[in-house]
Structure 1
Amino acid sequence: MPQSVLVDCDGTPVDVAAIEPFVAAFRGSVVRSGDAEYDRARTIWNASIDKRPGLIARCSGLADVIAAVRFAREHGLLVAVRGGGHNVGGRALCDGGMVIDLSRMKGIHVDPRERRARVQPGVLLGELDRETHVFGLAVPAGVVSKTGVAGLTLGGGVGWLARKHGLTCDNVVSFEVVSAEGEVLHVSADDHPDLFWALRGGGGNFGVVTSFEYRLHPVSMVLGGLVIHPRDQATELLKFYRSMTQSAPDELGTYAALMHTPDGHPVAAIATCYCGDLAEGERILAPLRAFGSPMVDAIQPMPFPVMQTLLDAAVPDGNQNYWKSTYVRELSDDAIDVIVSHADQATSPMTAVLVEQYGGAVSRVPASNTAFGQRHLEYDLGVCTQWSDAADSARHIEWTRNFADAMAPFRTGDYLLNFLGDEGEDTIRAAFGTNYERLVEVKRRYDPTNFFRVNQNVKPHPAPIAG
């Protein structure tokens, strides 16, 4: 087993004598190579990511985060920040440097009178939903309960409730942030408004967020679930999905999926969540339930936290993952044909191809209001390739890339930040769209040395744009 020593950004090992005072004063736990907890501490959901940090600082609270940032800065360390660890690109880890691990910071305080929740960065969506649901309230956040609130929010945050209540980042009232200098900033529309703008969709470029304050919405019971059809009905089902979503009310969030059943049968499905009056939801969803001859119709009233768990089984811990994603101009017949034909050739039965609808409240926020600028686009295609044996990686990755290339005639050139894997600078720039240059200015102001760069990075001194 290779050993991983702590090294600075030049590859020079950090003297053990310099590490010990930091470890002694740290309230949480510090994990190093050779420790019994090391391999578990460096493991994240995506098994394709195998990185060996020199030091993992599991923070217990704000003071630990400050200490970790200052220690890393003093010794010139590469730093990754881990919240829920659910980013497909593995940006929660780094080789040789320090991981500032926030996963044990799980405080949640709900104020039902003000409809606010203050949440620490290690909280997962299911944990947040459990606390807010007691009061019949919810944060619009995601579709998988194991997702971390921190990365989801900083990248924008789509989910079942987005069409009605906006993105997760649209519902942030304030942040507590540890800056690249190790200083604590309270960030809101009134305090550091430029940073407040950038944190809502700009990723982890600007600091370690140690607290999120969210606006809550009255959501308790929803009408949701899956309708599943045989795969040979996929083309017609996607055309129906296109028609249904074009006239959908804001209360209706839907995803279409080409996937396999647990026993390996290829199917086409629509997953849906209606967050308004349940009787009206029954009327709205009646055409979906009447379409074709579904194998399964599991739509039913359920508590919103249950809705958030319906897709958990599709993204288990421990699988190899490689994803591609792109917004499409429209869900045309030709685009549907390409989607179905490539999905039918999927190299792994664990793979899911998703068509996600946005719009609604998301599209009514001006693109310049937050760093998340892809407000005008309706559909995102996600190719979520999963497999179990690392020896098969090349085959599955090649299929995924070929699928993405085949979608070139239909894509807009825009990307959803939280779906990005190993893409380069041009794709990251495209994901920020017209907000990119403004993000560069905020980066220069708050992190001019690019201390926080293990992320979808905005460089403070970008290279000139060709042409």
Structure 2
Amino acid sequence: MSKKNNSERDLGRRSLLTGAAAVAGGAALTTALPASAQAATGTSAATANAVTTVTPDLISVAPADPRFPDLVRGTNQRWSANPEQVRLVTTTAQALRAVQEAVTANKRLTVRSGGHCYEDFVFNSQVQVVVDMSGMNQVYFDTAKNAFAIEAGASNLQIYETLYKLYGVTLPAGSCSSVGAGGHISGGGYGLLSRLHGLTVDHLYGVEVVVVNANGTARVVVATRDSTGPEKELWWAHTGGGGGNFGLITRYWMRTPGATGTDPTQLLPKPPSEVFVHSTAFNWAQLNEQSFSRLIQNWGAWHEQNSAPNSPYNSLFGLLKLTHNSFANSQIGLLTQMDATVPNAQGLLNDYLSAITAGVGVTPTAMTQRMGEHAAMPQFSSPRKLPWYIATDWLSGGNPTLRGKYKSAYSRKGFSAYQIATLYKHLNLAGYSNGDALVQVDSYGGRVNAVGAAETAVPQRDSVLKLQYQTYWTDPGDEARHVTWIRNFYREMYPEGGGVPIPNDRNDGCYINYPDKDLSDPAWNTGSSTWSTLYYKGNYARLQQAKATWDPSNFFRHAQSVRLP
């Protein structure tokens, strides 16, 4: 975990390269150091932004290095690459140099922060240089920006620990502990506190990005919420536009809109001091189609009724894990976290659990199996009150290091009768057996929906549920079987959209942080909504204009990157 919590202590390895290249076009790189840090280097405030500092050589790992196999694949073991080199950076200056050298040599470059990309956007057969951000992983309060700086390689759990233990604040980010900030934040970011505090990007104050001019010059740009003109558009593009589109992200600054003063403890949301954690399960052996349907109907109806921004339930977040019925002891799981400090918290939680199980006719039991990214949690079969950080650590699951395929959807309503029947069919499909196949249906809405569709690049601001279809396997030879199951399942769920959740009165597209290349494939998307519409809706044209301004040569690109207009 990060031990450096302010700009001064972090200075030793953070000197930034500036100068003519950095200020070309009027977008200056700022060192973002407080006066105390400037004094420590003999630099005045007036000259801090003009200092050029020699940095150590980049760490380059070539194929002969024994570390190489670990650096050319991510969490999803389907994807690996064979680049000429992996470059590990620890400073913005090194990141700038890595990009410039790749541009000059005309090398295809991709960037890894946490390594959790579901598709081959980072690791593919075309990449020649991978920039690995894992060495830039600091989290600290930056007095010059009056905001919390988070480097792109920092993980979710590292961010939570630093922000909370040192300052008593947090971000409403994801539950997977090892996801990296670089991709998570740029794609929008959400988690167990999002119904209470909105999306991660709703708190984005600034971003530092290495961009490439039309003439092939790499430079560092800092764009903030307070910027104007093109820089403001670059900031906005990173509020949900996705990674790998506009430049190499080196760090973010986080401060809640409207937060005032210079006290760090008041500049980001405070999590509940204590939360209830509950896990329960329904044994498939006791469920039939009628009882399954009632459970899914209850889940959807409850969220339709309790997902307003100021609902007394805006601090409750549930994860309904609809696993495939593959074995005699297969279970459906339900995980819940809720603020234990709100008035009548225990009563509210009991009423919620009663509403979800009403009329199902199956007695809930302990969750004794791993389900997706979460391990078995039989110890929470009765709600337990825990300190927030301890609970976050407990629930900070991680995607198994397996091969996987994923799909997503936003839902404005609960499931239709047709969709429930389709869920039941494919979760009980004869001839397919996989205990690691599921649909996870997350609580959504609340304060997420208090933000306008165009205020950030995330346009889905009136959904109440978020779906993630998942299947995992180990043997490469099993890929066709598992991918076929999830593809057919997903296509049958959305027949009116040509096999995808087109924005309509019930569905609202897909989540860019759960990328799915099938959305670009006419074999699996036969409808009128393109992949870009499904991810970005009406915000895509604005993202394209930002692309044209900041990456006019399309240097940063992948299979579903924002296209030049």
Instruction: Report the TM-score when normalising by structure 1.
Output: 0.87
State yes or no: 1:422 paired with 2:508: no
Question: Does the CA-based 8 Å contact 1:226-1:271 persist in structure 2?
Answer: yes
| Aligned position for 1:452 | 556
Taking the aligned partners of 1:450 and 1:314, their CA distance within structure 2 comes to 33
Equivalent residue runs for 1:177-216 within 5 Å: 177-180=209-212, 181-191=217-227, 192-204=231-243, 205-215=245-255, 216=268
Judged with a 3 Å threshold, the aligned counterparts in structure 2 of structure 1 residues 229 and 288 are, in CA distance, closer, same or farther, namely farther
Match of 1:417, SS state, is: coil
Query: Residue by residue, what CA displacement relative to the aligned partner does 1:411-459 show, whole Å, maximum 9, x if unpaired?
Result: 3341111111323542134211100111111100000111110263111
Partner AA of 1:210 in structure 2: T
Partner of residue 286, structure 1: 350
Decide whether aligned partners of structure 1 residues 264 and 451 sit closer, same or farther in structure 2, where only a CA change above 3 A counts.
farther
Partner of 1:316: 400
Q: Is the alpha carbon distance of 1:51 and 1:176 closer, same or farther for their aligned partners in structure 2, counting shifts above 3 Å?
A: same
Structure 1 counterpart SS, 2:418: helix
Tell me, in whole angstroms, the C-alpha distance in 1 between the residues paired with 2:103 and 2:533: 27
Q: Structure 1 residues 150 and 437 mapped into 2: Cα distance closer, same or farther (>3 Å)?
A: same
Residue 75 of structure 1: aligned partner: 105
Contact 2:412 / 2:462 at 8 angstroms: preserved in 1? no
Q: How many Å separate the matches in 1 of 2:72 and 2:197?
A: 35
Match of 1:11 in 2: none
**2: CA distance between counterparts of 1:245 and 1:178?**
41
Cα distance in 2 for partners of 1:111, 1:184 equals: 18
Structure 2 counterpart of 1:9: none
- Report the TM-score when normalising by structure 2: 0.72
SS of the equivalent of 1:396 reads helix
1:400 aligned to 2:486? yes
The equivalent residue for 1:228 is 281
The alpha-carbon deviation at position 242 of structure 1 amounts to: 1.8
1:261-410 to 2 correspondence within 5 Å? 265-275=329-339, 277=341, 280-290=344-354, 291=357, 292-296=362-366, 297-310=381-394, 315-317=399-401, 319-330=402-413, 331-345=415-429, 347-409=433-495
Query: Could you give the per-residue CA deviations for residues 74-109 of structure 1, whole angstroms, max 9, x where no partner exists?
Result: 111111111001111132324341111101111111
Distance 1:176 1:262, change over 3 A: farther
CA distance in 2, matches of 1:115, 1:185: 18
Q: How many angstroms does 1:115 deviate by?
A: 8.9
Structure 1 position 110, deviation (Å): 4.1
- Structure 1 partner of 2:182: 150
Equivalent residue, structure 1, for 2:36:
none
> Which has the higher mean CA deviation after the structures are superposed, 271-280 or 58-67?
271-280
Structure 2 contact 139–149 (Cα < 8 Å) conserved: yes
The residue aligned with 2:22 is none
Q: Report if the CA contact (8 A) 1:347-1:399 is conserved.
A: no
* Larger displacement relative to structure 2 (363-372 or 24-33): 24-33
Match of 2:322 among 245, 258, 268: 258
Which range moves more in the overlay, 43-52 or 334-343? Answer: 334-343
**More off after superposition, 370-379 vs 419-428:** 419-428
Gaps of 5+ in 2: 1-53, 256-267, 307-312, 367-380, 504-508, 521-529
Query: What SS is found at the alignment partner of 1:179?
Result: strand
**Rounded Cα–Cα distance in structure 2 between residues aligned with 1:304 and 1:340:** 35
Partner of 1:85, secondary structure, is: coil
Q: What amino acid maps onto 2:270 in structure 1? A: P
- Out of 201-210 and 329-338, give the one that drifted further: 329-338
Q: In the alignment, residue 408 of structure 1 is paired with which amino acid?
A: Y
The answer to whether the 8 A contact 1:347-1:395 is kept is no
Distance 1:460 1:64 in 2: 27
Q: Alpha carbons of 1:400 and 1:190: their partners in 2 closer, same or farther (altered >3 Å)?
A: same
Rg larger in 1 or in 2? 2
Matched with 1:17 is none
CA distance in structure 1 between the partners assigned to 2:519 and 2:304 by the alignment: 33
Q: Distance in 2 between matches of 1:131 and 1:107?
A: 9
1:313 shift after superposition: 5.0
User: Any idea what the Cα deviations from partners look like across 1:130-162, whole Å, max 9, x if unmatched?
Assistant: 112213321110121121122111111121111
Question: Greater strand share, 1 or 2?
Answer: 1
The one-character-per-residue Cα deviations of 1:6-50 (angstroms, maximum 9, x if unpaired) are xxxxxxxxxxxxxxxxxx986342111121111011121111112
Q: Partner amino acid for 2:83?
A: P
What is the Cα deviation at residue 57 of structure 1? 0.5
Separation in structure 1 between the aligned mates of residue 420 and residue 326 of structure 2, nearest angstrom: 24
**What residue number does 1:438 align with?**
542
* Structure 2 contact 469–486 (Cα < 8 Å) conserved: yes
1:354-384 alpha-carbon deviations (Å, 9 max, x no partner): 1123211111211111111111222232111
Q: How far is 1:203 from its partner?
A: 0.9
What amino acid does structure 2 have at the position aligned with 1:182?
A
159-168 or 250-259, which moves further after superposition? 250-259
2:502–2:534 Cα contact (<8 Å) kept: no
Q: Residues 389, 433 of structure 1: CA spacing in aligned structure 2 closer, same or farther, 3 A cutoff?
A: same
Gaps of 5+ in 1: 1-23, 462-467
Deviation at residue 314 of structure 1 after TM alignment: 6.2
Measure the CA separation in 2 of the matches of 1:86 and 1:298: 32
Quick one: which amino acid aligns to residue 217 of structure 1?
P
